[in-house]
Structure 1
């Protein structure tokens, strides 16, 4: 049986990252900076739509409408708001960078213990 992550990544050609528990306090500024504005845009678009249109009669129509609202609302978020939210939350990536500003990611050394290998002595216990 495939995991939800695998299913979403394979069927939607996207990467799924789950937020670990206990990060609420750290991410609160990001929530306020970005998500509050995003939700406000979603609500506004939803209300504006229904002022001139009937409610959707099927689940497929509702999914299409909500998808369109989410895409439009997200496009209305200024990228600087997102950057500032990450900075305020302390979620700022640091490390060596390439000339173009992207992060330099070195290939892992073969000497690094990833914890995946089991010692034969431990396996027999």
Structure 2
């Protein structure tokens, strides 16, 4: 577990293997999911849409979800790309903003260098700040509409997705950071102590 304190809006949890499992899902359920509007007091029933990962489908975890006044809904295998709101738009928007923030830091940020001349990685605190900013920029409601879960096709007042914003770097510098294909996902950051 990193020693640095994270912002109050970012929860950091780790396990030995780095996999999402029932223990990690329980941490997410208690520290994140119950913090949503009406989540703590459980005043309104909610729908929790998940894929069929083993940690989502155990009877014990489903009971924990129901105890939060929520209905667990499991998307059948092979349909996640079509029905999972996170996969449809949230993850991509989040990663696009995270990538933009990293690119801005690479070009304009303050950097320190090791004795060998190698530039040091962004600090854990910097990355947590980027995560916080990126998460605040995503719109969850539109993802549910795109998945057809809300049952409405009505337009909303949601702001345009961050991924559609133009990159604010000179083209020759921006090209250095782009992946080979538009579909390639951002792999994230690696921290080594």
TM-score of Structure 1 vs Structure 2, range by shorter chain = 0.3 to 0.5
Higher relative contact order (CA 8 A, sep 6+): 1
Of structures 1 and 2, the larger Rg is shown by: 1
TM-score (norm 2): 0.34
TM-score (norm 1): 0.48
